Each structure stands twice: as C-alpha cells, then as structure tokens.
Amino acid sequence: MESTYRSRIAPSPTGYLHLGHARTFWIAAERARAAGGTLLFRNDDLDPHRSKPNFISAMIEDLRWLGLDWQPPMVNQSERLPLYRAALDRLIAQGDAYECICTRKDLARLAHAPHEEQDDEPVYDGHCRPIQNVYHSGHSEESHSACAVTIPSGKPTTWRFRIPANATRITFHDQNLGLHTFIPGRNFGDFLLWSRDGVPSYQLASTVDDAAMGITELVRGADLLKSTARQILLQCALGLPTPRYFHCRLVRDEHGVRLAKRHDALSLRTLREQGQTPQQIIASFDTSL
C-alpha cells in the first residue's frame, strides 16, 4: 500500500545554507524515507530584495551533494501570488483581516522585551484594529479597547490577521518536542498577512502552500514553534487541514548562538570547499533532534 506521508523542505534563497539548515532538511528527508512517503521542495523566494538566482542554484546543488532527493517539480512561491491573494481576499471578506497603517518605526516601540526569535515580530497593540467586527464563526466580538483608525486614501497599508476573541490559547502536540501552548495577546498579537510592498507574509504563504501541496507532516526548526500557533489559526479561518508537526532543536555555534546565514564559516558551501564529505557532515549532526 502506497504511503500517504508527504513532507517538504523549504529553503529561502537569501544566502548559502548552513549546518542548521542541512540538519533540518536531512531529518525531513530521513523521516519521509522511513515512512515510505514523498518529500517535496519549495523555494521560498518571496523576498524581492534578498532572493537571488545564484542562491537558488547553490541550495539545490548543496542539498544534492549532501545526498538529499525530492520529488520534482520544485515549487516557486514567487509564481503563486494569485493563490495567496485569493486566501487574503477570503480572510478580508470574513472579517478575519484588516488594514494597518503602522510603519516599522511605529512597531519598533512595541519591542519592550526580547523575543525567543530574533526576527519575530513584536506583539501588536491593536492600534489599527477595528473596534467591532464579525469574524468567520459568525459571532460579533465585544468592542476592543483600541480606537478605530481611518485609513487615508492612497496610503500604503499592510494587512493583519484579526485573532478571534474565542482564540484564548493555541495548543498542539509536536512529534519531537511534545505539548506546546501559546496565548494570543501574550505570545503574539494580530500578525502580518500582506506587506505594503504587495508581498504575502511567511505565515500566509506557508499555510496556503502546505495545504495545496497536501503536506501531512511539517519538519522544521524549533524557532518556528510560535509560527505554528499562528498558522493553526489561519488553517481554522481558511478551512484548511492541520498537519502533524516535527520541530528540530536548533544548531548553535560555540557561543550558544543559533546559526544564521551570516555564519559563512559553517555554510555547506564553505565546508565543501574545505574538503569535508557529505558523510562527515551527516556524522556531525546531533542525533538528539
């Protein structure tokens, strides 16, 4: 009987892949192989300023060199904007999304405390959230403490997901790290769906793609646990299935800092040039997951 297991790897072509990426993608490939399932490849190339063609070819070459295999064709997010826009339009029609005029400078004042994720957006204070609205369950929400904001005509805006009043906590069981609970309003606020540059957020695009690609298990880094809570809210609002989740512990440098693409010395490209073999790199992976 053919396995129904479907997973994916989804690198972003904004730099060279490092050991942390390699380990997570290798685990994804191993879990797909063990399940007799399918591994897909998604190219998360939505960032118009940082995505580069040379990084696309490099990540494919480096992962092939490491021994990973996946089912073609590669899915390019930059070619799927109408799919994401349709999802946004549905959220808007349901009252699950609203326009926001807050700038990055406005949002910077909200960063009161450090976050688990260096690039995580601060908890939004609801400045542009409508005082009263109707969300997808059909129930009217009580007035919000924030004032309604009039959006000036022609002013660039973003779109935010409006967390329903009945979403008091999001709980899910991770296949690797166990039970996790996040509380909207404390751990995250109304989050971004669409930028003023016309680009969908990671949360929206990933949620839509994972459903469209029939993903049954998501394997990714533990820095995305909070994103999982946000995406479960989107799945509920859009009537999409919730897959299983397997979050891997992060690979860190000698100072305990999680790896980023600025760690050129630990990129697969650099390690290859230094003469390391795929077997040596895989053997270096921490098997505790």
What is the residue extent of each domain of the chain?
6-79+209-284
Task: Tokens for 3, please give them.
Answer: 């396995």
- The residues pairing with 181 across neighbouring beta strands, listed in sequence order, are 171
229 or 126, greater pLDDT: 229
**What is the number of residues in the chain?**
289
H or E element, residue 41: strand 38-43
H or E element, residue 212: helix 202-212
Residue 105 dihedral angles phi and psi, to the nearest 5°: -65, -40
Please list, residue by residue across 47-60, b when 16 or more beta carbons sit within 10 angstroms of its beta carbon and e when fewer do. beeebeeebbebbb
* Helices and strands, number each (H, E), in the chain: 8, 10
Cα–Cα distance measured from residue 11 to residue 267, given in angstroms and rounded to the nearest whole number: 14
Residue labelled with tokens 């590669």: 74
Cis geometry, peptide bond prior to residue 184 (ω within 30 degrees of 0): no
pTM above 0.85, yes or no: yes
DSSP letters along 3-39, please? ---EEEE---SSS--BHHHHHHHHHHHHHHHHTT-EE
Cα–Cα distance measured from residue 257 to residue 250, given in angstroms and rounded to the nearest whole number: 9
Query: CATH says 6-79+209-284 is which class?
Result: alpha beta
Cα–Cα nearest to 188, from 225, 158, 148? 225
Query: pLDDT at position 188, please?
Result: 94
pLDDT range class, residue 147, cuts 50, 70, 90: very low
Cα–Cα distance measured from residue 120 to residue 128, given in angstroms and rounded to the nearest whole number: 20
Query: pLDDT at position 218, please?
Result: 98
Residue 158 dihedral angles phi and psi, to the nearest 5°: -105, 170
Cα–Cα distance measured from residue 103 to residue 158, given in angstroms and rounded to the nearest whole number: 9
pLDDT, tens digit, 9 for 90 and up, residues 154-203: 677 999 999 999 999 999 999 999 999 999 989 999 999 999 989 999 99
pLDDT, tens digit, 9 for 90 and up, residues 79-136: 999 999 999 999 999 999 999 998 877 665 544 333 344 457 788 988 899 875 433 3
Query: Is residue 78 pLDDT above 80, yes or no?
Result: yes
Query: pLDDT at position 151, please?
Result: 61
